[in-house]
A and B are shown apart, each in its own frame.
With several copies, the nearest count.
Chain A
Amino acid sequence: MNLEIARLRLPLAAFVLELDAVLQSRVTGLFGASGAGKTSLLETIAGLRRPTAGHISLDGMVLTDVGEGIFLPPEARGIGFVPQDGALFTHLDVRGNLSFSQRVRTHPARTAPTFEHVVEVLNLGPLVARRIGSLSGGEKQRVAFGRALLAAPQLLLLDEPLASLEVELRDQIISYLRRIRDEFKIPMLLVSHNADEMVALCDEVLVLETGRCIRRGPAAELFRPSPRPHHVLAKPVERAPFA
């Protein structure tokens, strides 16, 4: 992947998002405090927001160039986006949401994971016939994730896709994301507040603060093991008679 972002400017409520970066890793992490501008950056790359200045190109294809008045519409960018809040289609059931891109796509698809495959990995089997309104928070997140994967994008933008999942499922999905990265060679931009996720998945991480990239480097360099103990659910063996 070669995502070039040059002299980007996007005014936000309290500050201006400014970025100049060439991203070439398979998985790039975006890290930063609440309100740092991570979501806004993803939306600008996806073509959902128009910057006031700057240039964005992906593998040589110009996506946005304010100077030359180029603004490729989102549907022509081939960029999958998993928004923070899911933004599922409430008038369709889970299956309808997942297969949406297959029904509407006009641009040719890349080799993509199959419907069955995505359903299996994301544990969506029992949900395919369910209405969106009756899903739990984590279930919604997984559906939004699967929907974007099935669009066979050239680049995946993931906005905290694992935030409301339990550790087990999260680990499972992380290993799946690694396979997507390696098998399907779909590059990704991943927003997360979880340093462990970053270390497990990202080659490189950008740290944003009030709209600027303040640090950048390989995940292994930016993050260090914490001295604070990290907890997981203990195996219930010691209290065998319970439940």
Chain B
Amino acid sequence: MSPDAWQVTWFTAWVAVTSTLCILPPGLALAWLLARRNWPGKSIVETLVALPLVIPPVATGLILLKLFGRHGFIGRWLEETLGVEVVFTWKAVVLATAVMSFPLLVRTARVAFENVNPRVEHVARTLGAGPWRVFWTITLPLARSGVIAGAVLAFARALGEFGATVMVAGFIPGKTETLSLSIYHLVQLGRDGEALGLLAVSVALAFGAVWFSERMLRKAVA
């Protein structure tokens, strides 16, 4: 592999890991709320969460661009208060992949949380653990297979995301270039052979994630 390809691979892996880590806290919190609490508007929130899946990625990308762009609501605020520019930087890549993989994490983790027996959580509380500790020591470990599966799905999606990324981050070689963008680009140029090479790299990354998740699961069980 050329040094360029290495650099793209690292960047992609880094983006996928970062975006997965970023969505874990809010994703798990939301999944838990959906699984364990009843509140008005739950169905609406569920639909909203699924949105990035439902609408075509370009549209998601456009919405993100409008929000985070220089004229955008959040973008302007970020630039004025923190001096941070998001669009067309690596931050936009992370943002796009995070938004696109969020629904996958939430849905899968929710199923896992729903399957944890509340009686066991109750007993943990009589043993002196507050709700927060119960979540960390009981709910999360018991739901781990689902949470890990959700994280792997999110990671995989982050590796493959293209439509929204290219809209908010552009395809700037060496700056916002991910494997997925490169593959698209190479396919466009008819350089299928090189595209195939990068595809293999993507698949290897995905395989690594699956393998790692299986190991984590096995360790947790043993």
A and B, direct touch (CB closer than 8 Å) = yes
Residue of A nearest to B129 (CB): A104
Interface string of A54-92 (1 = CB under 8 A from B): 000000000000000000011101111101010111111
Q: A91-B141, A91-B220, A100-B137 are in contact. Are A106 and B126 (CB under 8 A)?
A: no
Q: Which of B126, B129, B133 touches A46 (beta carbons < 8 Å)?
A: B126
Q: How far is the CA of A105 from the CA of B126 in the complex (A)?
A: 10
Q: How far is the CA of A73 from the CA of B132 in the complex (A)?
A: 13
Indicate if the CB atoms of A73 and B125 lie closer than 8 Å: yes
Chain A CB within 8 A of B67 CB: no
Q: How far is the CA of A81 from the CA of B221 in the complex (A)?
A: 26
Chain B CB within 8 A of A107 CB: yes
Q: A100-B137, A106-B130 are in contact. Are A74 and B119 (CB under 8 A)?
A: no
B121 CB, nearest partner CB in chain A, Å: 9
Q: Which of A47, A48, A91, A101 touches B127 (beta carbons < 8 Å)?
A: A101
Chain A CB within 8 A of B138 CB: yes
Indicate if the CB atoms of B128 and A104 lie closer than 8 Å: yes
The size bracket of the interface on B is 20 to 34
Indicate if the CB atoms of B220 and A100 lie closer than 8 Å: no
Q: How far is the CA of A92 from the CA of B144 in the complex (A)?
A: 13
Indicate if the CB atoms of A75 and B128 lie closer than 8 Å: yes
Indicate if the CB atoms of A104 and B126 lie closer than 8 Å: no
Q: How far is the CA of A46 from the CA of B128 in the complex (A)?
A: 11
Indicate if the CB atoms of B128 and A83 lie closer than 8 Å: no
Indicate if the CB atoms of A75 and B125 lie closer than 8 Å: yes
Q: How far is the CA of A103 from the CA of B137 in the complex (A)?
A: 10
Chain A CB within 8 A of B22 CB: no
Tally of contacts, chain A with chain B, CB under 8 A: 74
Interface string of B93-135 (1 = CB under 8 A from A): 0000000000000000000000001011011111111110100
A128 CB, nearest partner CB in chain B, Å: 16
Q: A48-B122, A91-B220 are in contact. Are A104 and B127 (CB under 8 A)?
A: yes
Report A-chain residues with C-beta under 8 Å of the C-beta of B120: 87-89
Indicate if the CB atoms of B127 and A147 lie closer than 8 Å: yes
Per the 8 Å Cβ criterion, residues 17-34 of A in contact with B are none
Interface string of A106-117 (1 = CB under 8 A from B): 110000000000
Residue of A nearest to B221 (CB): A91
Chain A CB within 8 A of B142 CB: yes
Chain B CB within 8 A of A151 CB: yes
Indicate if the CB atoms of A89 and B119 lie closer than 8 Å: no
Indicate if the CB atoms of A105 and B141 lie closer than 8 Å: no
Q: How far is the CA of A104 from the CA of B134 in the complex (A)?
A: 9
Indicate if the CB atoms of B137 and A77 lie closer than 8 Å: no
Q: How far is the CA of A151 from the CA of B130 in the complex (A)?
A: 14
Residue of B nearest to A49 (CB): B122
Residue of A nearest to B117 (CB): A87
Indicate if the CB atoms of B126 and A48 lie closer than 8 Å: yes
Q: A83-B119, A100-B137, A104-B133 are in contact. Are A89 and B128 (CB under 8 A)?
A: no
Q: A75-B129, A103-B137, A104-B137 are in contact. Are A89 and B124 (CB under 8 A)?
A: yes
Report B-chain residues with C-beta under 8 Å of the C-beta of A91: 138, 141-142, 144, 220-221
Residue of A nearest to B130 (CB): A75
Residue of B nearest to A78 (CB): B128
Report A-chain residues with C-beta under 8 Å of the C-beta of B122: 48, 74, 87
Q: A91-B220, A106-B130 are in contact. Are A100 and B124 (CB under 8 A)?
A: yes
Question: Lowest 3 A-B CB distances belong to which pairs?
Answer: A104-B129, A74-B125, A105-B128
Which B residues are within 8 Å of any A CB, using their own CB?
117, 119-120, 122-131, 133, 137-138, 141-142, 144, 220-221
List 8 other contacts, CB 8 Å, given A48-B125, A77-B126, A80-B127: A87-B119, A101-B129, A104-B128, A105-B127, A106-B128, A107-B128, A148-B127, A151-B128
Which A residues are within 8 Å of any B CB, using their own CB?
46-48, 73-75, 77-81, 83, 85, 87-92, 100-101, 103-107, 147-148, 151
15 A-B pairs with C-beta separation under 8 A:
A47-B125, A48-B125, A73-B125, A73-B131, A91-B142, A91-B220, A91-B221, A92-B141, A100-B124, A100-B127, A101-B129, A103-B137, A104-B137, A105-B129, A151-B126
